[in-house]
């Protein structure tokens, strides 16, 4: 009997020991978690326990990542009441109140959540794999940490206001990296007027994402084809909030840092670190009301602030001194009479981040026409817009005060500003009347003055051929078209460039492009430079020069080549760039897989910046190995913006009769029909990606068993489950097979025949760094020699175009 008791006690001891060693994700009432013990989510994604941040010795109860990025804290309970020793204990009461106890201070923190408890409905506390700490019973959720966010916004969180309880969910920064107490910065969802997201420093409004417009925030649009996460805005009688959910296994968090930055972060398993995917504040126009009332900000202009149509600077002297805070005032007063604006009209400003909506009124059911009538009938109404821009627009948003914080933006949202009829008459009545007038005027001028125009053009052309191109640095123009942004670049004298390149010595010549020859040079201060000199025989030199300056001068990214300055002297047109010692990708030395994978990522990030983050929105149109330069660290730099084009909006597709680019990299819709878009660049990137992996050119690829090009060969290997055979044999010793296979899969998604099937560069970047499942690719375009011959035989393809394609 005694032996049996000993065995039973020993068995119980083993169970207790195993419970103590096993990670718990749920505890019941009166079970304690002492300092040194933790609660782990079921999938081991998150862990809860006591910790000391940074260099601090204070103890806090927090939640951090466990499976990845161990120790990255996403939530803190006792932010304002730290424990100075290791006596802290987390405990759940029978009534559902979660408390932190300490020896010196019995109640350090409490969730203040209580519920009537029955014997058959016990409460438990559980840490979920979403990072949410919940207190619940069988019938209901009693309390959750997601309702009380700190500095981190996780997928599944609600960011906004509960209209029933009055609970506000917003982000607050840490005081410092060593102190999680509430800091100086906060991001809130303001529900005054039409709801919008605001960023604060103390009581100073720093930035505004703007209201939800059906597709995204007016000042931070969400990509329509986003394959990584879905965003949602909910507004009803009970709550107003927005949230997001991940579609893939990519791990994402949004953090308000202690110094006030709102960063979108992704975990990269390959490098075991977080990368900044986006920053809520990108440029000067993101500063709240930089241009004051009735001012409009454009990052593509210098200076960035201008007054809206019908307005002028309130204080011209301050405006000239680049102090735009006082904004603009009306040139002519409104004609509103007896509460009804009979004499007023509206001027449309297209593609904007709409003004501050805290003094606004809205209706979800009104049409845009009804919205205009509502604004016209209220003398306090200063402008109106659609509430939801989807499907042509719906709903009504009225502004009842000065229009603040408006900027030009890449979103399909317009605003109609109120203006006196007498002012509109000076603008030809309305925009539609103006366009009709302009069309009629053009026709009349063409018919009546064609001979005079031709003579004038011929005269101007002869004068341009004979006269120097420049009167003074920074103001040169071609055919009376001013080049933008020269004032932002350094002007080099011809003497400086000549001396740097050894009088353009043939020994310093390092390349030749459509623009002309490229030389290496060394400035007096020792800086190495690359000098592009316009060739006298160049057919596209003037256009390329204008494009290079207008596009790249305002672009700043680690994966774009940097334009340092220019030189214009008589007939000389010269561009000066930073020098890339490792030349271009097609002339580089043998690269191992880590170097190639780094180059792939760098190119993808550079294109993403051009398409989305630069605000200029650029389609490169000539992405190829020869236009990818490598710096001293073998980091890639996209170059040659001579063929680039600006675009507006994510779905914009342009058409041209002059197809330019490099055969083998051009998408089918561009080659066949002249249609180009961001998906044209995606196609080129896919080709480039396959070339980097295989070490072979698409157009030069041959195989003894078939006549497919590189795209067709990659497609054949993928369907046969032999994609790894596409990899260059020199990479066998350094490759990571999973990275190679994933890169090939992504490349095939990029070169699919139909543009709408191809991912955006945002999705490409995230697919390259994630480990989730990828969609199945469809067959690529131009994957055999026969398809190329069919292309060349099509009557719709200009023979000059084909010649140009081969020539580049």
Q: Which amino acids are annotated catalytic?
A: 622
CB 50 within 8 A of CB 61: yes
Widest pairwise Cα distance in the chain? 122
Question: DSSP letters along 625-640, please?
Answer: GGGEEE-TT--EEE--
How far, in whole angstroms, is CA 556 from its chain's centroid? 14
CA-nearest of 267, 275, 274, 280 to 187 is 280
CB 623 within 8 A of CB 681: yes
The single-letter DSSP state of residue 355 is P
Q: Are strands 406-408 and 295-297 parallel, antiparallel or unpaired?
A: parallel
In angstroms, rounded to a whole number, what is the distance separating the alpha carbons of residues 30 and 285? 54
> Which stretches of 271-411 are DSSP H helices?
316-320, 368-376
Pair of tokens at residue 570 = 């008589």
CB 386 within 8 A of CB 368: yes
CB 129 within 8 A of CB 68: no
In angstroms, rounded to a whole number, what is the distance separating the alpha carbons of residues 76 and 97? 17
Could you give the 3-state DSSP secondary structure of residue 5?
helix
CA-nearest of 177, 176, 201, 167 to 187 is 201
Strands (E), 163-250: 168-169, 171-176, 179-190, 196-201, 204-211, 229-235, 239-246
CB 144 within 8 A of CB 127: no
Pair of tokens at residue 133 = 């700490």
Pair of tokens at residue 681 = 């660049």
The 3-class secondary structure across 294-312, one letter per residue, is CEEECCCCCCCEEECCCEE
The single-letter DSSP state of residue 272 is T
- φ, ψ for residue 668 (rounded to 5)? -65, -40
- What are the b/e assignments for 68-89, b being 16+ CB within 10 Å? ebeebbbbbbbbeebbeeebbb
CB 578 within 8 A of CB 564: yes
Say how many residues make up the chain. Answer: 808
Q: Which residues pair with 32 in a beta bridge?
A: 91
CB 765 within 8 A of CB 608: yes
Q: Which residues pair with 279 in a beta bridge?
A: 263
In angstroms, the Cα distances linking 241 to 43, 191, 237, 382, 413 are 28, 10, 12, 27, 21
Pair of tokens at residue 307 = 């007054």
Pair of tokens at residue 746 = 């992504």
């Amino acid at each position: 009997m005694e032996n049996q008791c000993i065995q039973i006690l020993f068995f119980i001891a083993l169970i207790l020991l195993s419970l103590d060693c096993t990670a718990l994700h749920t505890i019941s009432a009166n079970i304690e978690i002492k300092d040194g013990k933790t609660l782990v989510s079921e999938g081991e994604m998150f862990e809860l326990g006591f910790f000391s941040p940074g260099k601090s010795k204070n103890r806090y109860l927090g939640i951090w990542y466990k499976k990845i990025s161990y120790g990255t804290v996403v939530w803190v309970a006792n932010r304002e009441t730290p424990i100075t020793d290791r006596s802290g204990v987390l405990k759940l009461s029978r009534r559902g109140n979660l408390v932190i106890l300490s020896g010196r201070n019995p109640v350090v923190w409490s969730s203040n959540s209580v519920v009537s408890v029955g014997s058959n409905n016990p409460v438990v506390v559980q840490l979920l794999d979403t990072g949410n700490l919940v207190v619940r019973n069988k019938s209901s959720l009693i309390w959750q940490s997601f309702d009380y966010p700190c500095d981190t916004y996780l997928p599944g969180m609600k960011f906004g206001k509960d209209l029933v309880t009055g609970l506000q969910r917003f982000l607050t920064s840490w005081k410092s990296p060593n102190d999680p107490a509430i800091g100086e910065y906060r991001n809130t969802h303001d529900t005054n007027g039409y709801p919008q997201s605001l960023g604060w420093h103390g009581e100073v409004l720093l930035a505004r994402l703007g209201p939800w417009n059906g597709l995204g925030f007016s000042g931070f649009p969400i990509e329509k084809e986003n394959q990584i996460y879905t965003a949602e805005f909910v507004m009803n009688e009970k709550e107003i909030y927005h949230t997001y959910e991940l579609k893939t296994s990519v791990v994402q968090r949004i953090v308000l840092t202690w110094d006030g930055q709102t960063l979108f972060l992704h975990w990269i398993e390959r490098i075991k670190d977080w990368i900044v995917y986006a920053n809520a504040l990108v440029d000067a126009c993101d500063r709240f009301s930089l241009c004051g009332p009735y001012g409009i900000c454009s990052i593509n202009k210098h200076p960035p602030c201008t007054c809206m149509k019908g307005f002028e600077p309130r204080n011209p002297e301050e405006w000239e001194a680049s102090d735009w805070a006082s904004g603009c005032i009306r040139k002519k007063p409104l004609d509103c009479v007896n509460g009804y604006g009979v004499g007023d009209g509206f001027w449309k400003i297209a593609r904007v981040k709409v003004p501050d909506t805290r003094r606004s009124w809205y209706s979800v059911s009104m049409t845009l026409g009804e919205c205009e009538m509502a604004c016209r009938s209220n003398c306090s109404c200063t402008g109106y817009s659609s509430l939801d821009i989807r499907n042509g627009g719906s709903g009504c948003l009225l502004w009842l005060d000065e229009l603040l914080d408006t900027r030009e933006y890449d979103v399909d949202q317009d605003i109609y500003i109120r203006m006196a009829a007498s002012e509109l008459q000076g603008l030809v009545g309305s925009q539609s009347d103006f366009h009709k007038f302009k069309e009629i005027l053009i026709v009349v001028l063409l018919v009546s003055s064609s001979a005079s125009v031709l003579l004038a053009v011929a005269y101007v052309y002869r004068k341009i051929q004979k006269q120097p191109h420049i009167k003074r640095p920074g103001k040169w123009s071609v055919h009376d078209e001013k080049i933008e942004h020269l004032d932002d670049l350094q002007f080099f004298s011809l003497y400086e460039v000549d001396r740097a390149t050894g009088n353009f010595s043939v020994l310093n010549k390092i390349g030749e492009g459509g623009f002309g020859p490229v030389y290496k040079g060394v400035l007096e201060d020792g800086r190495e430079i690359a000098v592009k000199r316009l060739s006298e025989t160049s057919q596209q030199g003037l256009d390329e020069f204008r494009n290079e300056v207008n596009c790249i001068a305002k672009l700043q990214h680690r994966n774009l080549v940097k334009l340092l300055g220019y030189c214009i002297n008589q007939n000389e047109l010269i561009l000066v760039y930073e020098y890339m010692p490792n030349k271009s990708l097609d002339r580089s030395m043998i690269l191992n897989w880590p170097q190639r994978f780094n180059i792939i990522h760098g190119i993808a990030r550079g294109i993403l910046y051009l398409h989305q983050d630069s605000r200029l929105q650029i389609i490169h149109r000539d992405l190829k190995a020869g236009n990818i330069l490598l710096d001293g660290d073998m980091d890639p730099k996209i170059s040659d913006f001579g063929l680039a084009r600006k675009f507006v909006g994510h779905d914009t597709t342009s058409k041209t009769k002059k197809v330019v680019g490099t055969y083998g990299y051009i998408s089918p819709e561009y080659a066949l029909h002249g249609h180009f878009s961001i998906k044209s660049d995606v196609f080129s990137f896919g080709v480039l990606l396959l070339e980097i992996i295989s070490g072979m050119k698409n157009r030069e690829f041959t195989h003894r068993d078939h006549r497919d090009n590189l795209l067709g060969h990659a497609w054949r290997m993928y369907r046969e489950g032999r994609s790894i055979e596409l990899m260059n044999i020199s990479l066998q010793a350094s490759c990571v097979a999973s990275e190679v296979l994933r890169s090939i899969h992504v490349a095939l998604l990029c070169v699919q025949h139909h543009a709408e099937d191809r991912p955006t560069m945002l999705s490409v970047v995230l697919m390259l760094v994630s480990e989730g499942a990828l969609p199945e690719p469809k067959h690529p375009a131009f994957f055999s020699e026969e398809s190329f011959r069919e292309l060349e035989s099509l009557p719709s393809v200009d023979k000059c175009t084909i010649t140009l394609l081969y020539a580049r």
